[in-house]
Amino acid sequence: MPSEAAGGLLVVVSAPSATGKTTVVEHLVQVLPGLRMSRSYTSRPARPGEEDGLDYNFISREAFEAMIADEAFLEWADVFGHYYGTGRAETLSRLDAGEDLVLVIDVQGARQVRERLPETVAVFMLPPSFEVLEQRLRKRSKDLEAEMLRRLETARREVDAVSAYDYVVVNDLLERCVGELAGIVVAERAKLARRRSTITPIIQTFRNS
């Protein structure tokens, strides 16, 4: 059952690069009806196999900066030298319409979202260890050594942000991690404040009989 009452549920998921967060969240939205993934804007060039309007909205740095000036982002950040951001209007209107949304964004963006929308449910995903992260980054091998070292250094800083999150999951096994994340979303949807419009008529039947 999707959440209701004061709009949809907003979930943010952050994790160091190569933790596998996108794969986990792609599986999550398949197993949980009513939960959708938000599509970010980025000034990073598309990688082979990536599609504009599907993986990201790929735009120029100039277009991104114009959107910053127009306050068109709910949050944005410079990650590894490229801009990334979440569109404000589309996100807020989807939430207003009662849609449950998941944003896969970095720790800087997650901080901004929590400040602006304090009801946000923030989940941090950890790899099983630093060594496993390093192996996964090496396996990707599309990144240069210097870029890989930069991502590992960033990862060291990012894990320091973990205490600002509501939940933590470890991506050791895909299915297990997806299941845990799904459990978090299901529990958040069942919170009393989100169930008011469902429970009010039920409680009413107790009063009427």
Return residues touching ligand 5GP (CB under 6 A): 17, 40, 44, 75, 77, 79, 84-86, 104-106, 108-109
DSSP 203: H
3-state secondary structure of 2: coil
Tokens for 109, please give them. Answer: 């963006």
Shortest Å, Cβ 182 to ligand 5GP: 20
Shortest Å, Cβ 150 to ligand 5GP: 12
Shortest Å, Cβ 183 to ligand 5GP: 22
Alpha-carbon separation of residue 111 from 73, 114, 130, 163, 189 (angstroms): 14, 5, 23, 12, 22
Tokens for 92, please give them. Answer: 């807020």
Q: Among all residues, whose Cβ is closest to ligand 5GP?
A: 109
Closest CA to 16 of 114, 131, 178: 131
Q: Which is nearer to ligand 5GP, 15 or 185 (CB)?
A: 15
Shortest Å, Cβ 168 to ligand 5GP: 16
Phi, then psi, of 61 in degrees rounded to 5: -60, -40
Measured CA to CA, the distance from residue 29 to residue 26 in angstroms comes to 6
Torsion angle defined by CA atoms of residues 27, 32, 38 and 39, in that order, rounded to the nearest 10 degrees? 40
Shortest Å, Cβ 104 to ligand 5GP: 5
On whether the CB atoms of residues 169 and 123 are closer than 8 A, the answer is yes
Q: Which is nearer to ligand 5GP, 75 or 100 (CB)?
A: 75
Shortest Å, Cβ 202 to ligand 5GP: 39
Q: Which is nearer to ligand 5GP, 3 or 86 (CB)?
A: 86
Q: Which is nearer to ligand 5GP, 44 or 195 (CB)?
A: 44
Measured CA to CA, the distance from residue 13 to residue 20 in angstroms comes to 11
